[in-house]
Amino acid sequence: MAITIDTYKDKLIPSLEIKHRINRLRNEMEQRGLGAALITYRTDYFYFSGTSQNSILYVPLENEPILFVRRDVDRAREESPLASILSYQSLRQLPDLINEHAGRIPQVVGLELDVLPARDFFRFKKIFEGVEFKDSSPAIMSCRMKKTAFEIEQIRKAAQIAREVFEAGRNLLRLGIREIEFGALLELEAKKRGHEGLIRMRGLNCEGYSWHILSGPSGSIVSEADTPAGGSGLSPAFPMGASRRKIQAHEPILVDFTICYSGYISDQSRIFCIGELPEKFVRAYEFCRGALARILKEARPGVKCEELFWVAERMARDQGYEDGYLGLPGKKAKFVGHGVGLEANEIPRLAVGQNYPLEASVVVAIEPKVVFPGEGVVGIENTYLITDEGYEKLTLIDEEVLQV
Amino acid sequence: MAITIDTYKDKLIPSLEIKHRINRLRNEMEQRGLGAALITYRTDYFYFSGTSQNSILYVPLENEPILFVRRDVDRAREESPLASILSYQSLRQLPDLINEHAGRIPQVVGLELDVLPARDFFRFKKIFEGVEFKDSSPAIMSCRMKKTAFEIEQIRKAAQIAREVFEAGRNLLRLGIREIEFGALLELEAKKRGHEGLIRMRGLNCEGYSWHILSGPSGSIVSEADTPAGGSGLSPAFPMGASRRKIQAHEPILVDFTICYSGYISDQSRIFCIGELPEKFVRAYEFCRGALARILKEARPGVKCEELFWVAERMARDQGYEDGYLGLPGKKAKFVGHGVGLEANEIPRLAVGQNYPLEASVVVAIEPKVVFPGEGVVGIENTYLITDEGYEKLTLIDEEVLQV
């Protein structure tokens, strides 16, 4: 079976890394009164086991975790360093298998209630008779929020791909090219370099678009997601991002391109322009760079996440950008930054009401943007690692307007 | 606001089409004892409203449906022909808004329990006090199973894009190109022609890959999904589909490429080869074409879906292909065909235990495949419309091995 992972042996998650993650989860579980967790959501069990094969991961406070694999147990064993990996065919077998291999099932068990469908939840309730199920997602997301050195390394690799893709963009952009074609050309460059294409997001109806290309007026169109500029998209079925519009000269072209490498996400935006960008957009872009710098000045462990939102918000008001900052009035995005990792919408959120402190080792994308009704959007987005001293920029792309 | 939909005015869903769909839903609801449905899942409310903007659609048996829109109500009004489209900010407002605009909330209300997360379900339970919630997904999927003329037209357009993409593939395939790059080149061709890129699938952990390129040994690698051949993928995070393997001569190259146009999916697979394909693969490919023909001979309204699975299964046994047919022993796919529409895993399923009759107006992808351990996979897949008389092939791609 060695053929399976020949092409990505170097991407397997090391055994010590998995041990460390499981230990952190146990700490979180203990604090929240969970005796065990049944992890059913792919992103989560990949994080704690190292494999995305069709599985359910059982993690008790005591005793070793068990990965129950439904489809290819051999491949799961190749990919995951966990010691106990068993095959199963039906959820009904799990209580007995757990009792046999990991002792008595505790009274209170965690399930990811923010993503597990209600129908599946009721099935667990019926099969694990007498068990009280509580939401394990806060514990899991709290673990996943703080990135390990291994994870930061993957995000660095994603950011390096991003740098090359934005650089290639200078040669691919031309007058009259459609937004969708420009984006697809960038995507080809990205995939050649290891971009996985799919972007994971958590929660009902959260669909991951790897990229948005919004030229001129497209940049002021609002859509379903909580972002300053959604764009038109190709149809009412997927009403976000690149459209068939032909890109013109002297208009801002927002390229918001997310790269996924080994499951890990780097998120970044830049403004391209064919010919010179009119002065008012340049000024607004410089405001966005200033707002980003202002946020970063405060960005260190201990600062309230909400406060990072407000410092830039106040600056927008002071400089007369309150109308277009983070979107048009009544349709503004409610955040200026978000955690990234295995998903594009992780914690921490730099947003109103996020009253918890920023911590070292979190990775956040910060993206101040300004929208001009009917004319477009400008802005910048980088992904940063928060360190003990402050931050480190992971997305090392030229920050000037990328003029061609 | 007209700018929003300027680029896809021709793709809006007509008013009569929406009326027809809502009426069908009411019939299904009535038969299943639902007094109303609260439709929260994007694919479903897009189907019944014509917009994918962030919304919840309320459909009572009597009275007009109401679309409650959370983010951009103006855009929803542009896209949806429904008469009653209201803005809302919090789920808590819904009971009062419904009472005010659509009369008393019935005792039994449907929610999509197969996709609505448990945490959201409990929120609905709390806010709609006293209401009994039942699963509305069987009613909704039953409506969506039978395609209208409008929907079939969209799938035809997707299939036409597919035809051009597979044709372009002849010029893009070359010795030593990596699977991932060949696929990304095809994807560029597809997106230029209107392919939306994202593929929707229903249910926990069902992730839509738009394409799989499996060359030689990659074609016998099993992964997380219930398919004959999963492939290696780029990392354990996304362990399916194209890998970094360089494509060689004289090996089967499975190109399974799904196109999405206006939300609608056409699914198709062909075998490419650089130089001549060795005889045993050619014979197995001819067997797959024969198995497909055998299935189609029986494919007409009234036949049990399961029976279409068994006719090909029996043929595989008779012709000595039982070992590799639909995958290797112990790891076989459990189906030979599946419904397509707005999602890639709709009903009907041509699979064991699917004991209901095939109906006219359903659209199914049928895909007999044969796997050779360590060597690869061959097979064919087309998307068909079932008609009163039998079937019509929608995917008009050359059915020979595509040799370059």
CA A76 to chain B, closest CA, distance in angstroms equals 9
CA–CA gap between residue A272 and residue A255 (Å, rounded): 7
CA–CA gap between residue B166 and residue B401 (Å, rounded): 11
Whole-number percent of chain B with pLDDT over 90: 97
The per-residue pLDDT for B1 is 44
Whether A187 sits inside 8 A of B183 (CB atoms) is: no
CB A242 within 8 A of CB A211: yes
- Across the beta sheet with B108-111, the strand order is B85-87, B66-69, B55-60, B36-39, B108-111, B132-135
The answer, yes or no, to whether residue B2 has pLDDT greater than 50, is no
Q: Is A3 on the interface with B (CB under 8 A)?
A: yes
User: Pick from B75, B184, B245: which is nearest to A222 by CB?
Assistant: B75
Say how many C-beta atoms besides its own lie within 10 A of residue B276's C-beta: 12
DSSP string, B89-132: S-GGGHHHHHHHHH-SPPSEEEE-TTTSBHHHHHHHHHHSTTPE
Rg (CA), chain A: 22
Q: Identify the residue among A55, A125, A235 best suited for mutation to test binding to B, counting B beta carbons within 10 A and taking the highest.
A: A235
CA A214 to chain B, closest CA, distance in angstroms equals 12
CA–CA gap between residue A155 and residue A160 (Å, rounded): 9
The per-residue pLDDT for B4 is 64
Whether B232 sits inside 8 A of A191 (CB atoms) is: no
CA–CA gap between residue B96 and residue B45 (Å, rounded): 21
Enumerate the residues of chain A whose CB falls inside 8 A of the CB of residue B264.
Answer: 237
CB B368 within 8 A of CB B380: yes
Q: What are the angstrom distances between the C-alpha of A79 and each of A47, A109, A187, B169, B223?
A: 12, 26, 27, 33, 12
CA A122 to chain B, closest CA, distance in angstroms equals 9
Whether B236 sits inside 8 A of A118 (CB atoms) is: no
CB A204 within 8 A of CB B41: yes
CB A304 within 8 A of CB A351: no
The per-residue pLDDT for B7 is 79
Say how many C-beta atoms besides its own lie within 10 A of residue A366's C-beta: 24
Enumerate the residues of chain A whose CB falls inside 8 A of the CB of residue B109.
Answer: none
Q: What are phi and psi of A90, to 5 degrees?
A: -145, 145
pLDDT: which is higher, A138 or B2: A138
Enumerate the residues of chain A whose CB falls inside 8 A of the CB of residue B119.
Answer: 113-114, 135, 137
User: Pick from B119, B207, B217: which is nearest to A198 by CB?
Assistant: B207
User: Pick from A3, A115, A243: which is nearest to B117 by CB?
Assistant: A115
Q: Is B132 on the interface with A (CB under 8 A)?
A: no
Q: Of the candidates A303, A305, A329, which has an alpha carbon nearest to the alpha carbon of residue A316? A: A329
CB B183 within 8 A of CB B211: yes
CA A117 to chain B, closest CA, distance in angstroms equals 4
The per-residue pLDDT for A394 is 98
SS3 content of chain B, % helix, strand, coil (to 5): 35, 25, 40
- Domain locations along chain B: 3-144, 146-403
- Across the beta sheet with A346-351, the strand order is A346-351, A335-339, A363-366, A382-386, A391-393
Q: With 0-12 CB in 10 A as exposed, 13-18 as middle and 19+ as buried, what is A310? A: middle
Whether B8 sits inside 8 A of A188 (CB atoms) is: no
The per-residue pLDDT for A2 is 45
CA–CA gap between residue B67 and residue B76 (Å, rounded): 9
Enumerate the residues of chain A whose CB falls inside 8 A of the CB of residue B226.
Answer: 71
CA A198 to chain B, closest CA, distance in angstroms equals 8
Q: Of the candidates B241, B250, B252, which has an alpha carbon nearest to the alpha carbon of residue B213? A: B241
Q: Identify the residue among A4, A90, A112, A116 best suited for mutation to test binding to B, counting B beta carbons within 10 A and taking the highest.
A: A4
SS3 state of residue B385: strand
The per-residue pLDDT for B357 is 98
Q: Could you tell me which chain A residue has the CA closest to the CA of B211? A: A197
Enumerate the residues of chain B whose CB falls inside 8 A of the CB of residue A342.
Answer: 237
Q: Which fold has domain A2-144?
A: Creatine Amidinohydrolase; Chain A, domain 1 (3.40.350)
User: Pick from A8, A40, A194: which is nearest to B236 by CB?
Assistant: A8
Rg (CA), chain B: 22
The residue assigned the tokens 């998209």 is A233
Mean pLDDT over B124-134 rounds to 98
CB A364 within 8 A of CB A381: no
Enumerate the residues of chain A whose CB falls inside 8 A of the CB of residue B121.
Answer: 118, 121
Q: Which residues of chain A have pLDDT under 70?
A: 1-4
Q: Is A152 on the interface with B (CB under 8 A)?
A: no
Q: Is B375 on the interface with A (CB under 8 A)?
A: no
User: Pick from B121, B220, B236: which is nearest to A51 by CB?
Assistant: B236
B381's enclosing H/E stretch is none
pLDDT band at B350 (very low <50, low <70, confident <90, very high): very high
Which residues are CB-contacts of A233 (< 8 A; sequence separation ≥ 6)? A223, A239, A240, A241, A242, A243, B8, B196
CB B312 within 8 A of CB B357: no
Q: Is B206 on the interface with A (CB under 8 A)?
A: no
SS3 state of residue A378: strand
CA–CA gap between residue A165 and residue A309 (Å, rounded): 29
Enumerate the residues of chain B whose CB falls inside 8 A of the CB of residue A122.
Answer: 113
Q: Which CATH architecture has domain B3-144?
A: 3-Layer(aba) Sandwich (3.40)
Q: Could you tell me which chain A residue has the CA closest to the CA of B79? A: A236
CB B331 within 8 A of CB A72: yes
User: Pick from B52, B181, B184: which is nearest to A236 by CB?
Assistant: B52
Whether B236 sits inside 8 A of A12 (CB atoms) is: yes
Provide the chain B residues 228-247 that lie in CB contact (below 8 A) with chain A: 230, 232-239, 243-245
Whole-number percent of chain B with pLDDT over 70: 99
Per-residue tokens: A224: 């379903």
The residue assigned the tokens 């969708």 is A180
Q: Is A353 on the interface with B (CB under 8 A)?
A: no
Mean pLDDT over B96-108 rounds to 97
What superfamily does domain A146-403 belong to in CATH?
Answer: Creatinase/methionine aminopeptidase superfamily (3.90.230.10)
Residue A103 Ramachandran class (φ > 0 left, ψ -120 to 50 alpha, else beta): left
Q: With 0-12 CB in 10 A as exposed, 13-18 as middle and 19+ as buried, what is A176? A: exposed
Q: Identify the residue among A1, A3, A7 best suited for mutation to test binding to B, counting B beta carbons within 10 A and taking the highest.
A: A7
CA B93 to chain A, closest CA, distance in angstroms equals 18
Enumerate the residues of chain A whose CB falls inside 8 A of the CB of residue B191.
Answer: 180-181, 183-184, 187
DSSP B244: S
Whether A224 sits inside 8 A of B13 (CB atoms) is: no
The answer, yes or no, to whether residue B344 has pLDDT greater than 70, is yes
pLDDT in tens, B169-223: 999 999 999 999 999 999 999 999 999 999 999 999 999 999 999 999 999 999 9
Residue A197 Ramachandran class (φ > 0 left, ψ -120 to 50 alpha, else beta): left
The per-residue pLDDT for B3 is 54
CA–CA gap between residue A344 and residue A208 (Å, rounded): 8
CB B75 within 8 A of CB B4: yes
CA–CA gap between residue A267 and residue A260 (Å, rounded): 9
CA–CA gap between residue A146 and residue A141 (Å, rounded): 9
Provide the chain B residues 101-120 that lie in CB contact (below 8 A) with chain A: 111, 113-120
Omega before A348 within 30 of 0, i.e. cis: yes
Residues A288, A293, A298, CA angle at the centre, nearest 5°?
A: 130
